[in-house]
A and B are shown apart, each in its own frame.
Chain A
Amino acid sequence: MSGIVLEGVRKEFAGGVVAVNDLTLEVQEGEFLVLVGPSGCGKSTTLRMVAGLEEVSAGKVFIGGKLVTDEPPRSRDIAMVFQNYALYAHMKVRDNIGFGLKMAGKPKEDVRRRVQEAAEILGITELLDRKPAQLSGGQRQRVAMGRAIVREPAAFLMDEPLSNLDAKLRVEMRAEITSLQRRVNTPTLYVTHDQIEAMTMGDRVAILRDGELEQLGSPEELYERPANTFVAGFIGSPAMNLLAARIHPGAGSDRPEVRFCGCRVPLPEATVDRHPSVARDGPRDVVVGVRPEDTTVATSHQADSLLQVDVIRTESLGSELIAYVRPSEGFIPLAPAIPTVDEASGEAEGASQEPPSGGSTVRQGARHGLVVARLNRLASLQEGEKSSLAVDPERLYLFDADTGNAL
């Protein structure tokens, strides 16, 4: 058992507030695992418990196969990159990077050589004699990374390390961090509220809500097979449309169909095979999930399977068109299971002023009771007009109306 292992970890703050509840998680050797979730879901608390900066109320933490639950941070053989870099302002870059080695009592020559090597990997050799105040945000980020990799720790912990960077630099650093992590092959626990970071960087992604693990899997698994409406709404940008629907089992040889917003979509055989109960049981209420990217503008306006909509607003992103539409009949928007943009960005207070890239538009859509469609840039939609959208039946997601769990 190496990497990072959390066994039934719980954190209860004074006053009985439970931040993390019975969390079991393993970051395997060399794996890049991303903890993602909305503000207050307990992801940073989890990371701090792994670091030893926060006491664990119950459960066990193992790092590199060693039980470290009650060990102080210095005994855990970890390196951490903080959101605001946490550089030592009074020290030169060289001393910042070499501080951990110096504290470990490494010989001066060894420290000098390893600092130089880390600086070369990160391309910051010319900055070694500067103080942090003389560096740009991206350079500080690299120094913080240098401080982490130079120690060759048993695990890396990263707490939203890209939040303070501008959008362009964030994309660059995303790639740099993942390639660096693959190079050193050290198990990494990475916290973010940005689902795009999670999807692009993580070998696996763990989604937390209210201190509990909602789903753990590869980015593809989370996107293709969300365990519940929360995960479905969190992963994907713009996020999935969740609509009240009803399943009608087919009569005779007819296939069951799902009815929502006035349209009737026959369920594909594969879906029925996966969920035989939809054909067996009587009509039942469900939540149907439609990803914005699984919609197209229909050429025919008559078919029952099409979603008749009023186009409220369109936004051209150049490469594609985002349309906010209101179904003409039977539209019952569900309360978003995920926080709004304001709530989610509140976690990165003092950091980036941009909203998290995770499904911000859909949250706006949900707030205004609209369905969002991500369409071809040449789609002929006019604001204020009626239109028809086709949804791909193979790409419909079905959730239990009561529990929100995937069928």
Chain B
Amino acid sequence: MKVSRGARVFRRLAVTAIVLWSLLPILVGVVTSLTPRADVQTSGWLPSHPASTAYSTLINGTAISSSDAGIPSPTDTSSFGPTMMNSATITVLSTIAILAVSILAGYGFARLEFRGSRRLFFVILATLVVPVFTVVIALFRLLSTFHLINTYPGLILVFVSVQAPLGIWLFHNYCKELPREPEEAALIDGCTRWQAFRKVVLPQMRSGIAALGAIFMLAVWGEFLIPLLLASTLDTKPVTVLITEFVGKYTTNYPLVMAAGVMAMMPPAIVALVLNRQIRGVLSGSVG
């Protein structure tokens, strides 16, 4: 199809605008993180004397001294490393748990007919429309009853209950699209249903698992409200919560906040890059 010159120019302008709109905040963050704290208010687009102080402060875990007498200083950055580790642990374990629940339930609803299965499936889907903030207090009370506040299992349970309905729905649709015959061939070839699922169905779902795994990983890594309420101790607090603590009441160390933001962005960016190939595989598969 021949595209007119005007349309081509318009398309390029539109793409450029979208890219700038998406990348500009990140660019501002990176630039600010490299600007000495004293120059933040005065420097232009680019710092005159770029400094990596904010990064070294975060990595070395240096305590920040109060710069203004009488004004409370932001949190000690020595927590940054542990909270990054917390984020990583929570994200990896939650993603595995969400995937496990979603894949098994999605496959079950797609393939196994049992009494009330359709009704149960719709009840689970209905929970998708419930915003987390409306149930977070109830969740807090529930977890507190079972002594799961400030614990990994507690956080993971909540992430699974929040994310799994979406996963079940998507994997249900994904499994519906998978041909039944290879699975049936495996049953005839000597597999039990579980073996057929593990040896034949699961490998067929590999690209879907990679794509949805990446989505869940990014969602859990970036989650703020749930850990803010349910993980307040250094043992469980993720980096998203810690970064907000760098914002002081009267003064804020912007380079530090931005550097923490940039560093917190790295793991999901790496995951997205690594899984990009698989995710593209899903999309190309979906159109034959």
Q: Shortest CB–CB separation between residue A158 and chain B, in angstroms?
A: 12
Contact in complex: B179, A84 (CB < 8 Å)? yes
Quick one: given A73-B184, A84-B181, A86-B181, are A103 and B200 in contact (CB under 8 Å)?
no
Q: Smallest CB-CB separation from A99: which chain B residue?
A: B189
| A-side contacts of B269, CB under 8 Å | none
| A-side contacts of B186, CB under 8 Å | 88, 99
A33 contacts partner chain B, Cβ-Cβ < 8 Å: no
| A-side contacts of B188, CB under 8 Å | 51-53, 73-74, 76, 78-80, 100
A82 contacts partner chain B, Cβ-Cβ < 8 Å: yes
A89 contacts partner chain B, Cβ-Cβ < 8 Å: yes
Q: How many angstroms between the C-alpha atoms of A147 and B186 in the bound complex?
A: 11
- How many residues on B have C-beta within 8 angstroms of the other chain's C-beta atoms? 17
Contact in complex: B192, A74 (CB < 8 Å)? yes
Q: How many angstroms between the C-alpha atoms of A318 and B140 in the bound complex?
A: 83
A87 contacts partner chain B, Cβ-Cβ < 8 Å: yes
Q: How many angstroms between the C-alpha atoms of A78 and B187 in the bound complex?
A: 11
Q: How many angstroms between the C-alpha atoms of A85 and B206 in the bound complex?
A: 21
Query: Which of B184, B192, B195 is in CB contact (< 8 Å) with A86?
Result: B184
Q: How many angstroms between the C-alpha atoms of A83 and B189 in the bound complex?
A: 16
Query: Which of B185, B203, B206 is in CB contact (< 8 Å) with A82?
Result: B185
* B-contacting residues, A94-140, CB 8 Å: 99-100, 103-104
| Count class of interface residues, chain A | 20 to 34
Contact in complex: A103, B179 (CB < 8 Å)? no
Q: How many angstroms between the C-alpha atoms of A82 and B189 in the bound complex?
A: 13
| A-side contacts of B179, CB under 8 Å | 84, 86
Interface string of B196-211 (1 = CB under 8 A from A): 0000100110100000
| B-side contacts of A72, CB under 8 Å | 187, 192
Q: Shortest CB–CB separation between residue A290 and chain B, in angstroms?
A: 42
| A-side contacts of B204, CB under 8 Å | 89-90
Q: Shortest CB–CB separation between residue B175 and chain A, in angstroms?
A: 15
Contact in complex: A89, B191 (CB < 8 Å)? no
Q: Shortest CB–CB separation between residue A140 and chain B, in angstroms?
A: 12
Q: Smallest CB-CB separation from A84: which chain B residue?
A: B181
Interface string of A140-161 (1 = CB under 8 A from B): 0000000100010000000000
Contact in complex: B190, A53 (CB < 8 Å)? no
Q: Shortest CB–CB separation between residue A183 and chain B, in angstroms?
A: 21
* B-contacting residues, A340-398, CB 8 Å: none
Quick one: given A88-B200, A90-B204, A90-B206, are A103 and B185 in contact (CB under 8 Å)?
no
Contact in complex: A87, B190 (CB < 8 Å)? no
Q: How many angstroms between the C-alpha atoms of A147 and B206 in the bound complex?
A: 24
Which secondary structure dominates where chain A touches chain B?
A: loop
Q: How many angstroms between the C-alpha atoms of A78 and B184 in the bound complex?
A: 12
Contact in complex: B190, A89 (CB < 8 Å)? no
Q: How many angstroms between the C-alpha atoms of A51 and B200 in the bound complex?
A: 19
Contact in complex: B182, A103 (CB < 8 Å)? no
Q: Shortest CB–CB separation between residue B184 and chain A, in angstroms?
A: 5
Q: Smallest CB-CB separation from A87: which chain B residue?
A: B182
Q: How many angstroms between the C-alpha atoms of A53 and B111 in the bound complex?
A: 13
Contact in complex: B181, A103 (CB < 8 Å)? no
Quick one: given A86-B181, A90-B206, are A74 and B200 in contact (CB under 8 Å)?
no
Q: Shortest CB–CB separation between residue A391 and chain B, in angstroms?
A: 47
Interface centre among B181, B185, B190, B191 (most CB of A within 10 A): B185
Q: Shortest CB–CB separation between residue B179 and chain A, in angstroms?
A: 7
Q: How many angstroms between the C-alpha atoms of A88 and B204 in the bound complex?
A: 8
Interface string of A33-65 (1 = CB under 8 A from B): 000000000000000000111000000000000
Q: Shortest CB–CB separation between residue A307 and chain B, in angstroms?
A: 49
Q: How many angstroms between the C-alpha atoms of A84 and B179 in the bound complex?
A: 9
| A-side contacts of B187, CB under 8 Å | 52-53, 72-74
* A-contacting residues, B137-190, CB 8 Å: 179, 181-182, 184-190
| A-binding residues in B (CB < 8 A) | 179, 181-182, 184-192, 195, 200, 203-204, 206
Can you identify 17 A-B contacts, CB atoms within 8 angstroms? A53-B187, A53-B188, A72-B192, A73-B184, A73-B188, A74-B189, A74-B191, A80-B185, A80-B188, A86-B184, A86-B185, A87-B182, A99-B186, A100-B189, A103-B189, A103-B191, A147-B189
Other A-B pairs beyond A53-B188, A76-B188, A103-B195, 7, CB < 8 Å: A52-B188, A73-B184, A73-B187, A74-B191, A88-B186, A88-B200, A89-B204
